[in-house]
Amino acid sequence: MDKHSPLFWPILLLNAAAVFVGAYFYQDQLAATVPQLLIFVPDCPLYVLLSIIIILGFVRSEAFSFIVSVGMVKYGLWTVFALLFHWDVYSQSLFFWTSVIFIVGHIGMAFEVLALLPKKPAKLALALALAWFLLNDYSDYWLGTVPSLPPGGIDVLRTLTVASSIAIPLLLFSFAAQLRGFAPVVWLRRQLGS
């Protein structure tokens, strides 16, 4: 791993900061959640933390990398959609700049992980990702671990979430090599030494 890239440590530090901000955001929900469901609460900070573990080389498993990639894309894009879907609330002056930073950060989250995507994920990794993220959706929307949101539109978010739990793993599985060959992803892989 080339840790001498000028952007390696800044990217890693941004990810670490995102984990702490996300943990702060979820602290009340985590405190109110039964222990058996805690894993389903901090979606974005959990997958950013897992990506750091991969970037640092602590885990070298293509199946693990694939599942983390799916989580980063899914929850990065979900957060952007949820913020824009409730833009009437999140664009108010109290939340505006935080919302803009969250949108940019979550787009970056969804993009960054493409550098960690295995070139040819195994079918078992695909099956595990589909099962895991559908289980997470069940926990969120039927057991109540979804993040606190403004009222209204939960049916739309639930439908989109379940659809993305199927579509994102299938798309990443089917187009992994092409995504890894995309010039910005190649550049980012060099920065991360992956």
Residue-wise pLDDT tens digits, 37-63: 999 999 999 999 999 999 888 998 999
Torsion angle of C-alpha atoms 49, 53, 59, 65, degrees rounded to 10? 50
What is the Cβ-side half-sphere exposure of residue 170, based on CA atoms within 13 angstroms? 6
| Residue the block writes with tokens 């995507």 | 117
Q: Is 34 a domain residue?
A: yes
Residue with token string 């990702």: 129
Give a yes or no: residue 20 inside a domain: yes
Domain that holds residue 105: 8-192
Q: What is the pLDDT of residue 4?
A: 63
pLDDT of residue 151: 84
Domain assignment present for 77:
yes
The phi-psi region of residue 57 (left if phi > 0; otherwise alpha if psi is between -120 and 50; otherwise beta) is left
Instruction: Evaluate whether residue 48 is within a structural domain.
Output: yes
* pLDDT for residue 3: 54
Residue 1 within a domain? no
Indicate whether 2 belongs to any domain: no
Interatomic CA distance for residues 52 and 177, integer angstroms: 22
pTM, rounded to two decimals: 0.90
- Ranges of beta strands (E only) in 28-178 are none
Count the domains in the chain.
1
Q: Is 141 helix (H, G, I), strand (E, B) or coil?
A: helix
Is the torsion defined by CA of 111, 112, 113, 114 positive or negative?
Answer: positive
Q: Are 189 and 5 in contact (CB under 8 A)?
A: no
In a domain, 149, yes or no: yes
Query: In this predicted structure, what is the pLDDT of residue 1?
Result: 45
Q: Which residues contact 108 (CB under 8 A, 6 or more apart)?
A: 76
Predicted local confidence at residue 137, as pLDDT: 97
Each residue's pLDDT, cut to its tens digit, for the chain (194 residues) gives 455 678 888 888 999 999 999 899 899 999 999 999 999 999 999 999 999 999 888 998 999 999 999 999 999 999 999 999 999 888 888 888 888 999 999 998 888 888 888 888 999 999 999 999 999 999 999 999 999 888 888 999 999 999 999 999 999 999 998 888 888 888 888 887 76
Residue 184 confidence (pLDDT): 86
**Residue 159 maps to a domain:** yes
